[in-house]
Structure 1
Amino acid sequence: MEDTLMRYRLRPSNRLVAALCGSMLFTTLLTAGPGATAARAADDPNTVALDKDAILAANQLDERQWYKDNIPFIDTPDNDIDDVYYYRWSTYKRALRYTVPGTGYVSTEYDVPIGYAGNPYTALPDAAGYHLLDGRWLRNRDYAGDYLDFWLRGAGNPGVRNFSEWITSAAYQRYLVTGDAGQIKSELPHLIALYKRWDSDFDTDITVNGTQSTSDLYHQSPLSDATEYTETSMHSSNWFSGGRGYRPTINAYMFAAAQAISKIATMTGDTATANDYDVKAAQLKAAVQNSLWDPQRNFFMQVYNTDGTNGALKQTRTTWRELMGYAPWAFNLPDARYSSAWKYLTDSQRFKAPFGPTTLERVHDFEAEQATRNHANLFSSSTASGGQYIGQIDFDDSYVTFNVDAPGAGTYPVTVYYANATSGTSTHRLIVNDDTAHPITVSYAPTGTWGKFSESQAVTVQVPLKAGANTLKFAKGTGFAELDRITANPYFNYQAIPASQRRDDANCCHWNGPSWPYQTSQVLTGLANLLQDYPAQSYVTKADYQTMLSQFAALQHKDGKPYIAEAANGDTGEWIYDGFNFSENYNHSSFNDLVLTGLLGIKPQADNTLVLKPLIPSSWDYFAVESLPYHGHTYSIRWDRDGTHYGKGSGLQVFQDGRRIHQSPTVGNTTVNVAAPVTPAQPARMMNVAANPLTAEQDWLGRTITQPYPKAFASYTNTVSNGPHCHSGQTCKPTTFDAPLRATDGWIRYDKIPDDRWTNSGSPNATDHLGVDFGAPRKINEVKFYTYDDGANIRVPASYTVQYLDNGSWVNVPNQTKSPAAPVANGANEVTFPTITTSQFRVVLTPQPGKFVGVTELESWYPEAPAVKIINKNSNLELGISGSSVNAGGTAQQQTADTTANHWWKIVPAENGYYKIFNTNSGQVLGIKDASRTAGAVALQWGDTLTPDHLWSVVDAGGGYCKLVNKNSGMVLGIRNMSTASGAPALQWDDNGTADHLWRIATDDGATPFNS
């Protein structure tokens, strides 16, 4: 089924042959049959080396046909990487959520609804870039395509700026895989509109450390950058979200967006726009390098802006390294001379940890030459960390005083780097916060030479600090010693790691130390770019990439099985933000794209080439990638050093659509010429008219349910609370999960923990049913349900049948064809039949003796309606949008007939028997300005914000005409002053019977009426 859900492509025609109003009921539009499936090369002996069924079985994946139809298959010598690769495709699949007709699929981060998403369907923009990058490798383009539309012009558009995002860059990277130039060019106006929405966060000529610059940069708060409780914010007055400033992340995202827009504009021939955004990208690059780069610490830092939470920190650059400083490399922003920052990634005193990099460096450097000193002298040395040190601290009044902040009172380690060329131990008196009565003795063993320093010449002492500012005065003790620097970071992991894991997520989320897959993915992307696209450097090697990716794979386990939650202790690998029935399988990072583009080095291109820059270990004798979609073709890439592993030839081989196009004896950087891109044939788009994700969200979050239809119902539902549900930072609460509405929430899962299903556990009935009430007549010709089978009491049913409500009576749907013939456990059961019209359907389930039944999702699919024209009876003009605008707020008006996409609309079923009317040119819905209920309010297009003014009834008016009645106002769509002039605006008005309130809905060739 999933392979047929390809994007519907509008192909307008000059001929309008079927009037669609004038019948009794208006349930849906019909299309021709499902059409041909997307073209793909059949596996043949020359191409195939992997047993896909065996791989899927070994990874214990449910619904295995989905993976065979969609994912690239890999095989490497690293079992951990392979296991996590297939597991992460399962987490990607489980996060796919079918929403409603006209919107289709989104990707979610969490397994459950969350209240702070700010967007419908639990969609969040912060990880959308990862979802698009991984999703671009799926054969079904709908999953990532729907999701991109959701953010650019759909229901997610109003909240697309709730968090920092790199959607534009990811959209272009997706194009490099699909090769669909028409699709990405059609998105250009929306990508530009998204870019401009960030203008309010853009400042010019920012001031850094007291000096005004010519740098123009974007600012963002750490929270809105998806990082609460950072050290940056802890230094401000708002620990949770404050510390707003000019960050390497948001500015790298905007740099990449500007570059992408410039490239797409070049494809369209819009030279002016291309040049404009090329300049924007260049200016952002210069600003990041000039103002966010700290030349002393060799790292990209934040600069605080003038936000009130920043106090005295305003317009200063931070002095501690956070992992986000590597973000610019994920988008190839920095010049090669900045590569020295990467030396800190492999430094165990900085970011290195056994299970992945920490989000904050473990210690900060406090240079002695920058401290306050008295009766001591400054010297230079090539071995000193900053090139300078303090010596001759030789007198009773000599001292060097450092200022160290702490987030809370406690005892913290402080490491002192020194030189002592005496023959014995020397000391300093460490006076903390002027407590001269209780000095700490710091002892320095001999080092042999004055003015020479190394990492081993260090001593660590435990120092009591108060919350806030502290002074650490090193005063003359016995003997003599020189100071290079001290290191400390009281903020590292402060309050970040719970003492014990209760799985209640109460400590979430602190990004001041824990290892975080979100940023680990970004760092790995940047590291791969550095190794693949930059000149050679001496700081990191491909062995470091291999090690870090292997660590990332090792981290993604729990109890010996692949697993991912929100964050972990980088030193132990324990998942620390792992709320029960909340954080599991957390879809907030990348892995598969890292394997494909980083480790295996598959670098998509805009031209007719495929570039390979693998980062695999030199010891690897083999690897394989099969069923790889690229530019509309199918590729296999296989390395077998001597041909003995796969037995299908030696060396590196590349196959295109089953034919070998490249062979070489070695594996390394390679450019392969490939066929020109093709767009696979697009079958009719299918829509699930049973889906109701909002009702499930409202129920889960304890909100008033405002969308009862389509409404799931059942003859019996488990009444026992069968587990807790948790939420970020909250205590878990007991919840019953088996409500019928859980089976129409758009998520398909087969978990043993009870979070997303209906069961009849405890039912005394011989049979039970689960069904959907549409709230109005709808046409259906396919029902699909996914059984839940726990292997114990909830088992696949012995049998089932599909029934529908016919004139008040339940009858079996005639001519049911079941696939498979017998019910299958933890998988899809599909029933097709000739089209029927009904307001309700149900699946009647007969359990196995002594067992019960469960369903994780119940669907009812039907072909999406073809695009139509909406023609006013009074003027015989067509409904369109002023200026063919793709922007929200474009005015609806009547226009002279033409064949442009602006005059084509899609009418799709919506909740409670209403419809949404989508403009095919803009992808936005027809609504009323300001959701007004006043007669005369103009009609316009808007992103689908789920407001009632976007809902319409299509009411038969006889004679082939209908009325479009707005749900919010109850008024009809008409034309101002009954005008017959082209350009007259459409508006809502009381239904007074005038001809301008009548519309003819007309389709292209071969369509059938709205209902017959």
Structure 2
Amino acid sequence: MVRRSLLTAATAVALLAGVLPAAAAPPDTGTGARLIDRDAKLDGFVDPAWYRANIPFVDLPDAEIEDTYYYRWRTFKEALKYTGPEDGWIVSEFLGPVGYSAPGGGISAAAGHHLYEGRWLRDTRYLDDYLDYWLTGSGSGPKPPTEELNPNTTDWAHQYSFWVADAVVARASVDGRWDRATALLPELVEQWEGWDPQFDPELGLYWQTPVWDAMEYTASSYQSDDPYHGGEGFRPTINAYQYGDAKAIASLLRRTGDLDGAADFESRAAELQSNVESRLRDGDFYKHVMRDGNPAREPIADREQIGFVPWYFGMAPPEADAAWSRLTDPQGFAAPHGPTTVERRSPWYLHEAERGCCHWSGPSWPYATSQTLTALANQLQDRPDQPFVDRQDYYDLLRGYASTQRKDGHPYVAEAHHPDEDRWLYDSPGHSEDYNHSTFTDLVLSGLLGIRPQQDDTVRIAPLAPTGWDHFAVEEVPYRGHDLSASWDRDGTHYGQGAGLRISLDGVEVHRQADLSPVTVPVTGSASEPPRLVDDLVNADGTGFPEATASYAGESDDAWEAIDGQDFHLDVPGTRWTNHGSPNRTDHLQIDSAEPIDVSDVRISFYDDGNGVRTPDSYRLQYRRDDEWVDLPTSPPRPGEPSRVVLDQPVRTDALRVTPLREDGGAVGITALQSWRPAR
């Protein structure tokens, strides 16, 4: 007889949720009480336990920003894809497959954004795997040097520009696992040096083609003979990325005691910074300089949004700060749904923008908006007294960015938005939905609420929230293995915990002050190392085994999609099996493996579209023993919550079968069927 373990509410979070059962949620410790009603914030979310276990919670007086914040955690969760035991988890850009991705579906173009956004998750396994994917796994493997996949590079991690070392340090500054970060040094140095073929020793600068900077049809590429694949030039982007990565590598080398190596990379960064200043800064703005047909190395006349990227990495000196006046200039980058990707005064502004994706000649791209907002936050933190921008500008831009992420009145992000009109320009059905090509939660946490991770044993709290706000709170921020919280209550009446700014660690107040001036608080420790887990049922590419079959499958609802490593609950695109339209009273989904597997922890995510396909009233879970199907014990599923079956003793089998049952005989569906075990 097979016995099922009975799970308490705290341990019922599935292993896929990325937490140990004992750490299903941050503990209630100390004397502090939660100020934020987590259940209310997650109302309507599928798998709320995952969010409770993983994300920081915020309470803001601005509903637009708050709603977008929680929505963007949903889109990030949707983008988490388990590819199998070799590469583990990746963070996808598109929810559906595209023909130009690396094996498993990774695209390096927005990987820096993914790492900045994902660093705030409590479970470290997602980004552990993702970094390994790009540095040592399939994402670092060989790539054809073709026109369609970038003819200038030969591996997937260099298909697009990518600020990986900087992101590694940014992430380690949150979780405190510096040993893991320094262990990546050989690969980080190799990645940095991988751009050497695009380094011009005469200028001391790197060149890049705009399309492989993740930006097609730009004001700069239009000034070449190939607006899509042309326009090679010395750009603020790739040079700032290499500067930021060199600084990060130097920092990691110092931690290992390699002071000579650190000094070498500091010198490379300094030389690159000097050359950017002398070659790419044209007056008060950093510009693209054409590589070909430009013997004088003159910059183009147009100011593009990429000119703000140097501030992302702390590269720009005070003499360049006047560039920020362009951000709010009505003839510059300012727009209701902006910023624009090239100034309005440019003759290339919105050139051919309505002729289909993907033009960076003015449309507002969340990718670029994220970079600009991060750069702006750094500017306001580093040089708050300059006269060009202030915290109100940050809030206005962030709020505009939040309100832009809407469609039909609901939170939504696609590829690019019209800068002046309330419509997405590039929004292809089945392709652009919930596009994971930018950040937002990081902008709220590190910018608006001012949680500034540090490389020493501290955290700096320096909110950029508007001075008129009378309250805000952020709780359960995973920082160095602790639960960090901060709240602002101007007069003490909103939260009832006293007036001022309160900072707590693990529920214990460690600092209080009357205003929102910056403060640094000591925090020591690091995040724990969670165990590695393997899903034996996943088949990310749909070939071979495990093999999924069904007694009936609805149109476009293939059985394989239940084991494709993705778990999201959208109508389009879909990743699910359903029996919608079946003539049968009941239907089953069956997974056959090539070899017998040990089954001890099964997770089933049922699909419910609120219409014809609904959560089943019950289900049968069976495993094949010899030639018979044997029942495993189950409990009635709850709408919006994954079902989990944990066995005291594993059963060994080469097939599992799930039969969802509705009393009214209606349609059912499954978005994910998984069997998890510890990695061997």
TM range (shorter): over 0.9
Q: CA deviation at 1:291?
A: 0.5
Is residue 326 from structure 1 mapped to residue 326 from structure 2 by the alignment? no
- Give the whole-Å Cα distance in 2 for the aligned partners of 1:112 and 1:678: 35
Q: Does the CA contact (< 8 Å) of 2:29 and 2:508 recur in 1?
A: no
What amino acid is the match of 2:234? Y
SS of equivalent residue, structure 1 residue 160: helix
1:370 is matched with: none
User: Aligned pair in 2 of structure 1 residues 35, 529: CA closer, same or farther (>3 Å)?
Assistant: closer
SS of equivalent residue, structure 2 residue 331: coil
Q: CA deviation at 1:782?
A: 1.7
1:70 is matched with: 54
Is residue 337 from structure 1 mapped to residue 156 from structure 2 by the alignment? no
- Give the whole-Å Cα distance in 2 for the aligned partners of 1:751 and 1:36: 31
Pick from 206, 229, 239 the counterpart of residue 218 of structure 1: 206
1:686 is matched with: 533
- Give the whole-Å Cα distance in 1 for the aligned partners of 2:599 and 2:611: 34
SS of equivalent residue, structure 2 residue 362: coil
What amino acid is the match of 1:70? N
Q: CA deviation at 1:808?
A: 2.5
Q: CA deviation at 1:850?
A: 3.5
1:716 is matched with: 552
- Give the whole-Å Cα distance in 1 for the aligned partners of 2:319 and 2:410: 42
Is residue 271 from structure 1 mapped to residue 221 from structure 2 by the alignment? no
Q: CA deviation at 1:314?
A: 7.7
Please give the residue correspondences for 1:406-555 in structure 2 after superposition, counting only pairs within 5 Å.
489=347, 491-497=348-354, 507-534=356-383, 536-555=385-404
Q: Does the CA contact (< 8 Å) of 1:525 and 1:598 recur in 2?
A: yes
Q: Does the CA contact (< 8 Å) of 1:796 and 1:853 recur in 2?
A: yes
Normalised TM-score (structure 1): 0.63
2:181 is matched with: 184
Q: Percent identity?
A: 42
Q: CA deviation at 1:648?
A: 1.5
Decide which structure has greater helix share: 2
Q: CA deviation at 1:243?
A: 0.5
Is residue 173 from structure 1 mapped to residue 145 from structure 2 by the alignment? no
- Give the whole-Å Cα distance in 1 for the aligned partners of 2:397 and 2:603: 42
CA offset digits 1:586-631 (Å, max 9, x no partner): 1100011011111111100122211112111111111100001111
SS of equivalent residue, structure 1 residue 832: strand
Q: Does the CA contact (< 8 Å) of 1:188 and 1:261 recur in 2?
A: yes
CA offset digits 1:317-371 (Å, max 9, x no partner): 211100001111111101111101111111111111011110011114xxxxxxx
What amino acid is the match of 1:222? P
Is residue 41 from structure 1 mapped to residue 23 from structure 2 by the alignment? no
Decide which structure has greater strand share: 1
Is residue 86 from structure 1 mapped to residue 74 from structure 2 by the alignment? no
2:287 is matched with: 301
Q: CA deviation at 1:847?
A: 2.6
Is residue 623 from structure 1 mapped to residue 472 from structure 2 by the alignment? yes
SS of equivalent residue, structure 1 residue 636: strand
What amino acid is the match of 1:168? A
Q: Does the CA contact (< 8 Å) of 1:350 and 1:362 recur in 2?
A: yes
- Give the whole-Å Cα distance in 2 for the aligned partners of 1:691 and 1:7: 16
- Give the whole-Å Cα distance in 2 for the aligned partners of 1:7 and 1:643: 36
Q: Which has the larger radius of gyration?
A: 1
Q: CA deviation at 1:44?
A: 6.2
Q: Does the CA contact (< 8 Å) of 1:126 and 1:165 recur in 2?
A: yes
Q: Does the CA contact (< 8 Å) of 1:789 and 1:854 recur in 2?
A: yes
Q: Does the CA contact (< 8 Å) of 1:623 and 1:639 recur in 2?
A: yes
User: Aligned pair in 2 of structure 1 residues 66, 44: CA closer, same or farther (>3 Å)?
Assistant: farther
SS of equivalent residue, structure 1 residue 146: helix
Pick from 582, 587, 609 the counterpart of residue 768 of structure 1: 587
Is residue 856 from structure 1 mapped to residue 675 from structure 2 by the alignment? no
- Give the whole-Å Cα distance in 1 for the aligned partners of 2:22 and 2:661: 35
Gaps of 5+ in 1: 9-33, 207-215, 365-488, 499-506, 696-706, 721-735, 866-1012
- Give the whole-Å Cα distance in 2 for the aligned partners of 1:679 and 1:137: 11
What amino acid is the match of 2:81? R
Q: Does the CA contact (< 8 Å) of 1:756 and 1:856 recur in 2?
A: yes
Pick from 620, 639, 643 the counterpart of residue 829 of structure 1: 643
Q: CA deviation at 1:678?
A: 3.2
Is residue 357 from structure 1 mapped to residue 361 from structure 2 by the alignment? no
User: Aligned pair in 2 of structure 1 residues 314, 221: CA closer, same or farther (>3 Å)?
Assistant: farther
CA offset digits 1:215-234 (Å, max 9, x no partner): x0111100000011111111
- Give the whole-Å Cα distance in 1 for the aligned partners of 2:240 and 2:13: 35
- Give the whole-Å Cα distance in 1 for the aligned partners of 2:646 and 2:14: 16
Please give the residue correspondences for 1:76-155 in structure 2 after superposition, counting only pairs within 5 Å.
76-117=60-101, 119-155=102-138
Q: Does the CA contact (< 8 Å) of 2:615 and 2:639 recur in 1?
A: yes
- Give the whole-Å Cα distance in 1 for the aligned partners of 2:231 and 2:663: 60
Is residue 247 from structure 1 mapped to residue 247 from structure 2 by the alignment? no
What amino acid is the match of 1:113? P
- Give the whole-Å Cα distance in 1 for the aligned partners of 2:38 and 2:232: 49
What amino acid is the match of 2:59? D
- Give the whole-Å Cα distance in 2 for the aligned partners of 1:570 and 1:68: 35
CA offset digits 1:672-725 (Å, max 9, x no partner): 223x11342x45322111111112xxxxxxxxxxx311111111111x3xxxxx
1:634 is matched with: 483
Is residue 52 from structure 1 mapped to residue 35 from structure 2 by the alignment? no
User: Aligned pair in 2 of structure 1 residues 300, 224: CA closer, same or farther (>3 Å)?
Assistant: same
- Give the whole-Å Cα distance in 2 for the aligned partners of 1:764 and 1:108: 36
Q: CA deviation at 1:754?
A: 5.4
What amino acid is the match of 1:134? E
CA offset digits 1:404-433 (Å, max 9, x no partner): xxxxxxxxxxxxxxxxxxxxxxxxxxxxxx
- Give the whole-Å Cα distance in 2 for the aligned partners of 1:39 and 1:851: 35
1:205 is matched with: 202
2:5 is matched with: none
CA offset digits 1:154-197 (Å, max 9, x no partner): 11112000000011111110000001111111111111111111
Please give the residue correspondences for 1:729-744 in structure 2 after superposition, counting only pairs within 5 Å.
736=556, 738-744=557-563
Please give the residue correspondences for 1:941-956 in structure 2 after superposition, counting only pairs within 5 Å.
none
Please give the residue correspondences for 1:925-944 in structure 2 after superposition, counting only pairs within 5 Å.
none
Pick from 244, 250, 275 the counterpart of residue 287 of structure 1: 275
Q: CA deviation at 1:827?
A: 3.0
What amino acid is the match of 2:525? P
Pick from 191, 194, 202 the counterpart of residue 194 of structure 1: 191
Q: Does the CA contact (< 8 Å) of 2:537 and 2:591 recur in 1?
A: yes
CA offset digits 1:721-741 (Å, max 9, x no partner): xxxxxxxxxxxxxxx2x0101
Q: Does the CA contact (< 8 Å) of 1:113 and 1:121 recur in 2?
A: no
2:505 is matched with: 656
Q: Does the CA contact (< 8 Å) of 1:72 and 1:627 recur in 2?
A: yes
- Give the whole-Å Cα distance in 1 for the aligned partners of 2:488 and 2:23: 31
Q: CA deviation at 1:36?
A: 5.0
SS of equivalent residue, structure 1 residue 156: helix
Gaps of 5+ in 2: 1-11, 142-155
CA offset digits 1:457-514 (Å, max 9, x no partner): xxxxxxxxxxxxxxxxxxxxxxxxxxxxxxxx1x21111025xxxxxxxx01000010
CA offset digits 1:529-568 (Å, max 9, x no partner): 1111125211111111111011001101111111110000
Pick from 449, 452, 473 the counterpart of residue 603 of structure 1: 452
CA offset digits 1:962-1000 (Å, max 9, x no partner): xxxxxxxxxxxxxxxxxxxxxxxxxxxxxxxxxxxxxxx
1:846 is matched with: 661
